[in-house]
Amino acid sequence: MLLVGTYALLFLVGPALSVAIESALRDPSNLGNTCTVPAGGSESIDDAPAILDAFNKCGQNGNVIFSNTTYYINSVMNITGLKNCLVDIYGTLMWSTDIDYWLNHSLPVGYQNQSTAWIISGDQVTVDGHGYGTLNGNGDVWYAFADGKSNYPGRPHALTVANTTDSKFQGLRFIRSQMWSLSIIYTQTTSFDSIYVNNTRSTGGAGQNTDGADTIYSSFISFSNWIVDNGDDAISPKANSTDITINDCTFYNGAGIAIGSIGQYKGVYEIIERVYANNIKFIGTLHTIYFKTWTGEQVGYPPNGGGGGLGHASSLVFQNMQAENLRGAAFAISQCTTFSGAAGNCSSSEFQLYDITFKSVSGTTLSNDVASFQCSAVEPCEDIAIIDESLVLSSNGSTANSYLCYEVEKPMGWECTGDACVGGTATGSC
């Protein structure tokens, strides 16, 4: 019965979301004032005040233009109250490397004690990077500073879209973001199209905790035509993310699409519902899709500690996935997430995962594990379907045939072949 509902979601939710978002976007052609942001021309001159002034003058029924030059951002920007505003970014915004400043002044995001360098908030906002408008976080200095420290307090996200409705962000490039490239919170009916993220170090490899995008308390959010090369989650729906679509994307080298982490706040009920992903390529990623919830016992406090949260993730469909040299299990669940080095009882989570479908995945993998599902004994995972899967080992072309599980009820289309590893993890498997 649940599977029937899932297939209805599979065919209806994705197209419906796209139509809803596009129909809600206002045509910005009939605008009033136009403000071209002047650039100081030197990293010693902070261009943030000029940017704030331009938005103050043209943020409502206006057009803000960043020229094809470099803007040096040495201080935080909190831009709110936008209305029917078109933002054209033709140049590069370059953030300073003054770590002490950012650790002490970055703006609270409103979740997990995370913070950000730039907040944009408003209604009927269109931000267009035209394929080359770039946000450069100078991330090399942050990757060296935060090496081994996952969620370092004060380390900022590059951009946070907060309290925004009926808006569109397109054609942007995020290069070496300080931490997460994009966080989306308290936002509805907004699309993010043709976005490029490269959070690799200039010396090779990728920075830690450099997610492409994370959604929090947001609904009807669409991601399409993304390319992400990073060292962590490509896109991650988190607490109270509903009606999220991810279409026609390519992800390199990171962990894959992450559901969560979630269940971090003791006694708080949160949900993730109606997430739909279609036509995704995963090249050298750890997983295609993985889930991470905290245990039922609180160990420490956010951003790196927590647990004891309540809720569920359900009505999730992931289909038409192509893999190349996956590094771990294609599909993974860990209900023992920790970032502090200490985990609670891995079988104690009260956050439930159910009605999840993985359909039509093919390609190559370095692991024989198609699935590794470590679920909670308190709230076991239910109704997980794996349909039309054809993964082969990169080493010899033989079929990947291991399905590991712990506390999974009513699997559909697959049978458990062994026990999943039970242990603290931040990446969906031991």
Which of 227, 252, 283 is the last residue in one of the domains? Answer: 227
Which of 227, 242, 265 lies at the terminal end of a domain, its last residue?
A: 227
Between 71-75, 219-223, 334-338, the lowest mean confidence (pLDDT) is in 334-338
What CATH number is attached to the domain comprising 91?
2.160.20.10
Banded model confidence at residue 1, pLDDT cuts 50, 70, 90? very low
Note whether residue 23 is domain-resident.
no
175 & 294 share domain: no
The pLDDT tens digits for 365-387 are 999 999 999 999 999 999 999 99
Per-residue b or e along 102-131, where b marks 16 or more CB atoms closer than 10 Å to that residue's CB: beeebbebbbbebbbbbbbbbbbbbbbbee
- The token duo for 306 is 């927590």
Residue 426 exposure: Cα atoms within 13 Å on the Cβ side: 19
393 & 245 share domain:
yes
Supply φ then ψ for residue 119, to 5 degrees.
Answer: -115, 130
* Average confidence (pLDDT) over 27-31: 61
Catalytic pick among 232, 233, 355, 383:
232
Residue 13 is inside which H or E element, if any?
Answer: helix 2-24
Residue 1 lies in a domain: no
Residues 72 and 218 in one domain: yes
- Residue 232 annotated among the catalytic residues of the structure: yes
Phi first, then psi, for residue 75 (nearest 5°) are: -150, 165
- For the chain, the domain total comes to 2
* Averaged pLDDT, 330-350: 84
User: In terms of domains, do 390 and 281 share one?
Assistant: yes
**423 within a domain of the structure (yes/no):** yes
First to last CA, the chain: 32
Residue pLDDT, tens place only, 200-256: 999 888 888 999 999 999 999 999 999 999 999 999 999 999 999 999 999 999 999
Quote the pTM value.
0.94
Same domain as 250, residue 122? no
Tell me how far CA of residue 175 lies from CA of 45, 48, 67, 93, in angstroms.
Answer: 21, 19, 18, 10
Domain span at residue 369 reads 233-430
pLDDT attached to residue 25: 46
Whether 276 and 177 share a structural domain: no
